[in-house]
Chain A
């Protein structure tokens, strides 16, 4: 490379290599999409199993009742296994490494808080989030929150929690995670405004779409952005010498 034949564009491209590398590393979202898929399957197993079990019990169909309960029970059991960072977390880590094994390992550091203050903040936020979920479900079951307003009410704690997660993960995940609380809040505003985006026949979809649906959408956007970043990185970094 001589100064004479190095165009300004090539130099600017070279200076952009760290940006594309970082953007690619921030958007390796396949494990997150897998997580969303598992969450969806678990929701279907637990929710569907309970619903069908109740229906079968009322109809006196005991074999169907026990089969449905077995599915729901397996879902709950898997949920506990999956939520444990030493079991489900490790498994997801291994699968993630396998998913990107052809492209190799690249890291932007760890998102796990190392200071006592950081750990305390995460523990506080997660505990508060859990309390809010339990409280809103209890209030909903007691009839204090109409079913159609469950999502807008949940936005009061889900959106801040997702913002917290996005801020926490920003160095390793970029800006795309911020889309999720944005879409969740927008969905809640539309529901309150009376826009017909809620299903009467499938009420569980009213919570699944803003959670799994928008989460998956963000994961997919991240995935495609990561693919684009890797393509740009290779174009520049493999340029003819």
Chain B
């Protein structure tokens, strides 16, 4: 796992990816269209962020069919859930240290 100088997970410490992970952490699964509509990203941008998160093992990609149309859904993995929790713990710790 690559880290920022402050020790935060670099994969998560990117605004678009953090928001994407936070959206997925609220639900069981969401499809590409929902993520596009919620996050307001371009298709290419969303696709590259999702790929990056999938490579890190934080997001699981589920390919399926909705009738005759293919549908790609995304689900947060257990590893992704732990990584987000750890990220917030570290960020809060940094913030409280700087606040002192």
Contacts and interface: CB of A to CB of B under 8 A. Distances in A.
A1 B32 contact: no
Contact of A234 (B14, B38, B91): B38
Contact of B38 (A3, A11, A108, A233): A233
Chain B contact-residue range equals 20 to 34
A58 interface: no
Contacts of A18: 22-23, 25-27
A25 B26 contact: yes
Contacts of A3: 6, 91, 94-95, 98
Interface in B25-83: 25-40, 66-67, 71, 73
Dominant SS among interface residues on chain A: helix
**Most-contacted residue by chain A among B13, B16, B19, B66 (CB, 10 A):** B19
A98 to B, nearest CB: 10
Given A3-B95, A14-B22, A15-B88, A21 B27 contact: yes
A147 B32 CA distance: 53
A238 B40 contact: yes
A103 B34 contact: yes
B98 A103 contact: no
Given A15-B88, A18-B25, A234-B38, A106 B31 contact: yes
Contacts of A101: 33
Contact of A108 (B16, B25, B28, B32): B28
A237 B66 contact: no
B37 A103 contact: yes
A38 B49 CA distance: 43
Interface in A31-74: none
Contact of A11 (B26, B40, B91): B91
Interface in A61-96: 94
B19 to A, nearest CB: 5
B31 A104 contact: yes
A105 B26 contact: no
Given A1-B15, A15-B88, A237-B19, A104 B33 contact: yes
5 contacts: A18-B23, A25-B26, A101-B33, A103-B37, A106-B31
Interface of A: 1, 3, 8, 11, 14-15, 17-22, 25, 94, 97, 101-109, 230, 233-234, 236-239, 241
